[in-house]
Amino acid sequence: MTFYQVLVFIHIVSAIMGMGPGFILTTVVKSGKTMTELRHSYAIRHRLHIYVMIGGIMLLVTGLLMGILNTYLFQMGWYITSLILFLAALAIGPLALSPRSRPIKTLLETHKGEDIPEEYTRLAKELFLYEHIENVIFFIIIALMITKPF
């Protein structure tokens, strides 16, 4: 097995490890019907997000290393498009997801009682919209990596 083949293997495993859990992050917290369940769901979501972050970093590093080893990739439209989309998806985290997650985290920490407040529903709906946009971007990247259309 060549070094490049090892990189491809790590890249694919990283995609499974990072993107797989990323696609279900919204689903995990939608199952909470009480504040206790919701807090537990967000704790699970946080643990899954660690895999998403590690997988995402490994995806970027291995993808760039493959491009450095085979510089012709930087001339391929699907590679450049995937890279730009991936960087855009990474930027969504601090620019859109973090600011929308903070009020939810505060609400989960401070709300008394088991009822889920209406404010949470509004905040979660906005957060989940951006997460769904990010999932669509990742789906497009996966499709580009598989089909290499241009």
Q: What is the pLDDT of residues 10-60, one digit of tens each?
A: 999 999 999 999 999 999 999 889 999 999 999 999 999 999 999 999 999
CA dihedral 76, 51, 49, 79 (to 10 degrees): 0
Global pTM value: 0.89
Q: What is the pLDDT of residues 103-125, one digit of tens each?
A: 999 999 999 999 999 999 999 99
- CA distances to 9, 44, 81, 103, 126 from 96, in Å: 31, 21, 21, 13, 10
Q: Which residue has the tokens 């989960």?
A: 108
Radius of gyration of the chain (CA): 18
